[in-house]
């Protein structure tokens, strides 16, 4: 840790205010260039505590920057994780209030719901498949609190990995009934295809993303509890949306999810 507790809490407040007041800020490493990974996650956990203390419910976890498309788009090289709270949840086919967001982008993601807990180190794809209750499709709306989505890894970790909204739905399937590596995904905006991908876009196998999450949490003395909903990261690059846009993501074998920006 290079930052003291007071600074961690102040940065958490600054970032969460940027989210709640919909006003972007410059990346926090500009003021704190010596900030380390522990500081970055400490700020994220402080934002999580602020939300839970206010009555929000923790509803899942997410991995970010797990596909080559995302890594290339953002110019950063390592997967990261964040949390999902009830405030982010919207219904499948439902409205996303554009005015509550700064500069939203959408990404299609394969999500897992676990029936048993997972812990690292050494967690692998086999463990994840054995612990998975079912797989569902998701669309995540990311909305970096940083001006023009410009950040480095530590800044984006502190900002809860740009998390803003998500929708899940489709139809749940057991992992043994699916070919997760070859699962085709089509992302559409206003009825037009804007991106396509396969499950293997995420770390070679989307379950590898959940395993990596268990291993990253293991280093912190934490685990993924049974019942957790986990989004494994955007399979394609993220696409900017405007008010009035409709987004649909179609996933082979597990159905589709959609949202519209109003
Ligand atoms: C960071 C969020 C990454 C994903 O799925 O890769 C993420 C960002 O690109 O702003 O949610
Ligand atoms: Mg994402």
Contact 51, 85 (CB under 8 A): yes
pLDDT at 105: 98
Q: Does ligand 1 have an atom closer than 6 angstroms to the CB of 216?
A: no
| CA–CA distance, 27 with 12 (Å, rounded to integer) | 13
Burial per residue of 27-61, b for 16 or more beta-carbon CB atoms within 10 angstroms, e otherwise? bbbeebeebeeebbbbbbbbbbebbeeeeeeebbb
Q: How many CA atoms lie within 13 A of 4 on its CB side?
A: 1
pLDDT at 121: 98
pTM of the model: 0.97
Q: Does ligand 1 have an atom closer than 6 angstroms to the CB of 158?
A: no
- For the stretch 98-115, pLDDT in tens is 999 999 999 999 999 999
pLDDT at 72: 84
pLDDT at 70: 87
Looking at the CA of 159, which ligand is closest?
Answer: 1
Determine whether domain 58-261 maps to CATH 3.90.850.10: yes
pLDDT at 228: 98
Cβ neighbourhood burial of 89 (10 Å; 0-12, 13-18, 19+) = middle
pLDDT at 80: 97
Looking at the CA of 82, which ligand is closest?
Answer: 1
- For the stretch 214-233, pLDDT in tens is 999 999 999 999 999 999 99
Query: How far away, in angstroms, is 161 Cα from ligand 1 center?
Result: 6
| CA–CA distance, 187 with 106 (Å, rounded to integer) | 9
| CA–CA distance, 42 with 226 (Å, rounded to integer) | 24
Across 150-154, 173-177, 188-192, 195-199, least confident range: 150-154
Query: How far away, in angstroms, is 212 Cα from ligand 2 center?
Result: 15
Report whether pLDDT(160) > 90.
Answer: yes
- Across all residues in the chain, what is the average pLDDT? 97
| C-beta atoms surrounding 190 within 10 Å | 13
Looking at the CA of 238, which ligand is closest?
Answer: 1
Of ligand 1's atoms, which has the minimum distance to the CA of residue 156?
A: 1
- In 3D space, the residue among 56, 142, 63 whose CA is nearest the CA of residue 101 turns out to be 142
Contact 101, 181 (CB under 8 A): no
Report whether pLDDT(35) > 90.
Answer: yes
In the chain, where the domains are located: 58-261
| CA–CA distance, 133 with 125 (Å, rounded to integer) | 14
- In 3D space, the residue among 78, 61, 88, 106 whose CA is nearest the CA of residue 210 turns out to be 61
- For the stretch 39-79, pLDDT in tens is 999 999 999 999 999 999 999 999 999 998 888 888 877 89
């Amino acid at each position: 840790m290079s930052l003291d507790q007071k600074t961690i809490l102040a940065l958490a407040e600054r970032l969460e205010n940027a989210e709640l007041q919909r006003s972007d800020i410059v990346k926090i490493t500009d003021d704190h260039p010596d900030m380390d990974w522990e500081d970055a996650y400490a700020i994220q956990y402080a934002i999580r505590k602020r939300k839970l203390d206010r009555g929000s419910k923790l509803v899942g976890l997410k991995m970010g920057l797990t596909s080559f498309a995302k890594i290339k788009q953002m110019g950063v090289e390592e997967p990261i994780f964040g949390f999902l709270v009830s405030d982010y949840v919207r219904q499948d086919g439902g409205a996303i209030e554009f005015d509550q967001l700064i500069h939203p982008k959408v990404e299609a993601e394969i999500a897992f719901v676990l029936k048993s807990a997972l812990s690292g180190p050494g967690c692998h794809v086999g463990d994840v498949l054995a612990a998975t209750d079912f797989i569902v499709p998701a669309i995540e709306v990311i909305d970096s609190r940083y001006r023009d989505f410009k950040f480095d890894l530590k800044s984006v970790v502190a900002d809860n990995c740009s998390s803003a909204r998500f929708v899940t739905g489709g139809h749940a399937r057991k992992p043994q009934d699916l070919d997760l590596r070859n699962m085709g995904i089509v992302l559409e905006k206003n009825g037009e295809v804007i991106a396509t991908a396969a499950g293997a876009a995420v770390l070679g196998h989307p379950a590898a993303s959940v395993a990596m999450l268990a291993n990253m949490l293991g280093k912190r003395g934490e685990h993924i509890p049974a019942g957790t909903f986990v989004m494994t990261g955007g399979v394609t690059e993220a696409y900017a949306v405007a008010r009035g846009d409709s987004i649909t993501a179609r996933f082979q074998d597990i159905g589709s999810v959609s949202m519209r920006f109003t």
